[in-house]
Amino acid sequence: MKIFSFVVSYIVLDVISSLLYVGLLLLLVRAMKKIFNMNEEKWSTLFKYRKGLYSIMVFPYVLMLALMFPISMLGFELINFDYSILGYIAVIMLPTLILLLKLPKFKESIVSNNGKGMK
């Protein structure tokens, strides 16, 4: 029964962390647009900068990690999981692996599409 509750908690916390990351990323983009009055030229300059895309995508991720720690600890305490720290590490591993594997491919696709004239 503990394994089943761990798997369900893992899936729920992973979905929550993914949604939190996407929400924080969209909030950051919207805030940057409002604060800096971003237009197409400014966005292109930001994304062409060496670490522009990485800094935009990593900042909400670090914030999500900080917010998910107490949430996942609480979730694993509610199901009386003995190794809640290991559970937290397991919850964070999937989004981290996805970020590390997909971000370079995403950057390459933006750079290649930008050269073709994205509309």
Mean pLDDT calculated for residue range 93-117: 72
Contact 25, 60 (CB under 8 A): yes
Whole-structure pTM value: 0.70
Band (pLDDT 50/70/90 cuts) for residue 110 is: low
Q: Where are the domains of the chain?
A: 2-116
Q: Looking at residue 111, what is its pLDDT?
A: 66
Q: How many residues does the chain have?
A: 119
DSSP 38-85: --HHHHHHHHHSTTHHHHHHHHHHHHHHHHHHHHHHHHHHHTT-S-HH
- The per-residue pLDDT for range 6-61, each reduced to its tens digit, is 788 888 888 888 899 899 999 999 999 999 999 989 888 887 776 777 778 888 88
